[in-house]
Amino acid sequence: MNENANFKVDPRLASLLGETYRSTEHAIKELIDNAWDADAPTIAITLPDPMTADSIVIEDTGSGMTELELRNEYLVVANDRRSRKGDRTKQLKRLVKGRKGIGKFAGLMVANIMAIETTAHGKTTRVVISKEDLLNATRDLERIDLPLTVVPAPDGVSGTKVTLTSLSDRFEFPLPEKLKTLLMTEYGREEDVRISVNSEALCLDDLPGEKFQKDDTIPDAGAIKLSFKVSDGAKSLKQAGIALRVGGKIVGKPGFFGLEDDPEIPPKLLKKLYGEVEADGLSESVTADWGDIVENSKAFHALKPVIQAHLKNAVEEVYKREVGLQRARIQRQINLRLAEMPEHRRRFAQIALEKVMKRFYGESEEKVETVASVILDAFEKDEYWLVLKQIDESKGGDIETFASALEIFGLLDMALMANQAKSRLKVLDHLDDLVRNPATLEKNVHSVIERNLWVLGYDHSLISSNRTLARTIEEYTSAKFTGDRASKRPDLFLAQNLRGGFFLIEFKRPAKEIDRQDQRQAQEYRDDLEPKFGQIEILLLGKGRDVTATMQNDPPRLQVFSYEALISSARTQIDWLLSELKSGESTSA
């Protein structure tokens, strides 16, 4: 017997779709996106005071919906309006934000009751959606009855009002400051919409970061007013840059007034700039379509370097502060390593590090640590000094010779970093072959890792051993494991970290999984050695964890690493660095 089957839509789906947002502020933004798609020139959001029973209201003056549109379009789940009406809105030709047809349920994350009142063509249609009714329903979603009324409305009035009542106590109240930041990031550059939160219009102050303002008078350009922020957010801003406003109207797209061509400014830092400059003196320099400035405008050419200088001073100030914080944790390691270099090399190494820090601004701390380690390794190579000597000698000569020397230094800088990174990849390949070989012993991997401690991660790349520590381990293991126990002698490595503490690394065979007994034995070694050296951290290296050695039950000051995970992590960082260096070469070309 052949029969057909059908999907049934559980009413809980509507509630679940409303809870897919990362915060209540993001859920409310989804409703504001709907107003944007309705060509609303104004959108007003009213948030209640905390600990009150007041409602959240999102009201717009957009196109609204008729009863038919509400029934056949709005209430259709997963109805993508772009497939029906295109990627642009009807009146203002805005790029449509709604994509999946489920944003209508966003209010059900915030509240238990969502009422929609929408006005178009002389009628107001009101529908109420109750989360409780949906959750308690026994019928399919399309069979749930939603209270709907239609009443006359004044001619010429349109728009939609969404009222969220009985706010959910499962989530924190939406915060006006957080919502305004979110909306300013998304809509701050839009000229055809005015958005307010609790009657306050969005403005530059709603963005996080340090604000800079400058009033100035420039020959040929007249009075200007520059106002911008350097965002302290982790992400780049949408439509970053400085907008030029002339006669109250934005000209063209935001830009950086030539600062993007300054090699001293990291590109990622530019993405944190957001603001505008008012320059009514350029009214005669605007193109007919208001899309740009006439190329040979004297007023704009007078304005450009002034704005660029103000922007550069601000971003450099923020850059120094942020990089200082980023480098604080690794600066001790860098300083100790620099101290081991001859004075003449140290000076150039510091210059190279500063350049590298700018190049990789905005990357994760782990990646910056990898870059710093590799550049310091490269500076121990003698190839540098022929070029550096040439640079020093050419400083007193002609400019062309000096520029040529600097160019060679820059190319060599990248080349040596790449060569050093490739050398590390070869070490990882060799180590990978070792750990995959069942016959490999502890001493085999010990000899490789001891000479390449960067494999353990940057935190351990600058730990060091010496003859005294090596002799101590040799005497300890020789005395403790004699006679029949000699074959059970562990492979230990005792090293001192940069803070003066000690690490005890025990190498297990790559085929050996670390179990609870291995952890207890390592603790015994530590107990024997701590009276002489003080507190000791333990690193246990092997195939991985046995099922008996769960991470949550690890003893204090003891870490377990698998050789495979260490190699994979180190390889990821080196591959990333080589990719960045390659892209840098392409950009330079």
pLDDT in tens, 240-299: 999 999 998 899 999 999 999 887 788 888 888 999 999 999 999 999 888 899 988 999
Residue with the bigger pLDDT between 478 and 151: it is 151
Confidence tier at 417 by pLDDT (50, 70, 90) = low
Instruction: Look up residue 337 and give its two tokens.
Output: 């390593």
Asked whether residue 226 falls in the same domain as residue 300, the answer is yes
**Residue 4 belongs to a domain:** no
Q: Please report, as a single letter, which amino acid is at residue 575.
A: D
Asked whether residue 23 falls in the same domain as residue 162, the answer is yes
CA 353 to mean position of chain CA atoms: 23
* 515 within 8 A of 521, measured Cβ to Cβ: no
Q: Which DSSP helix (H) or strand (E) runs through 26?
A: helix 24-37
Instruction: Give the mean pLDDT of 96-107.
Output: 74
What are the tens digits of pLDDT across the range 337-380?
A: 788 787 777 877 787 777 777 777 777 777 777 777 777 776 76
**Residue 588 belongs to a domain:** no
Asked if residue 121 has pLDDT above 90, the reply is yes
**CATH code, 278:** 3.30.230
Burial 408-435 (b: 16+ CB within 10 A, else e): ebeebbbebbbbbbeebeebbeebeebb
User: How far is residue 13 from each of residues 81, 127, 141, 147, 164, measured CA to CA in Å?
Assistant: 20, 19, 8, 19, 19
Half-sphere exposure for 96 (CA within 13 Å, toward CB): 18
- Of 362, 393, 428, the last residue of a domain is 428
User: How many Cβ atoms sit within 10 Å of the Cβ of residue 76?
Assistant: 14
Residue with the bigger pLDDT between 380 and 589: it is 380
CA 31 – CA 74 distance, rounded (Å): 12
**Residue 584 belongs to a domain:** no
Considering only CA atoms, which of 532, 481, 483 is closest in space to residue 504?
532
**CATH code, 458:** 3.40.1340
Asked whether residue 72 falls in the same domain as residue 94, the answer is yes
**Residue 582 belongs to a domain:** no
Q: How many domains does the chain have?
A: 4
CA 72 – CA 84 distance, rounded (Å): 12
What are the tens digits of pLDDT across the range 490-504?
A: 899 888 865 667 889
CA 172 – CA 94 distance, rounded (Å): 32
Considering only CA atoms, which of 87, 105, 108 is closest in space to residue 165?
108
List the domain range (segments joined by +) for residue 216: 208-311
Instruction: Look up residue 78 and give its two tokens.
Output: 């997963």
- Of 428, 457, 478, the last residue of a domain is 428
Asked whether residue 28 falls in the same domain as residue 155, the answer is yes
Asked whether residue 418 falls in the same domain as residue 442, the answer is no
CA 24 – CA 28 distance, rounded (Å): 6
3-state secondary structure of 541: strand
Confidence tier at 549 by pLDDT (50, 70, 90) = confident
Q: With 0-12 CB in 10 A as exposed, 13-18 as middle and 19+ as buried, what is 520?
A: exposed
Asked whether residue 112 falls in the same domain as residue 176, the answer is yes
Confidence tier at 170 by pLDDT (50, 70, 90) = confident
- Of 269, 285, 311, the last residue of a domain is 311
Calculate Rg over the CA atoms of the chain: 33
Considering only CA atoms, which of 396, 521, 541, 534 is closest in space to residue 456?
541
Confidence tier at 406 by pLDDT (50, 70, 90) = very low
CA 204 – CA 185 distance, rounded (Å): 10
Half-sphere exposure for 441 (CA within 13 Å, toward CB): 7
Asked whether residue 389 falls in the same domain as residue 449, the answer is no
What is the model's pTM? 0.59
Q: Please report, as a single letter, which amino acid is at residue 258.
A: G
Asked whether residue 556 falls in the same domain as residue 519, the answer is yes
Instruction: Give the mean pLDDT of 111-131.
Output: 93
* 212 within 8 A of 225, measured Cβ to Cβ: no
Q: Please report, as a single letter, which amino acid is at residue 140.
A: D
CA 448 – CA 493 distance, rounded (Å): 12
Residue with the bigger pLDDT between 443 and 362: it is 443
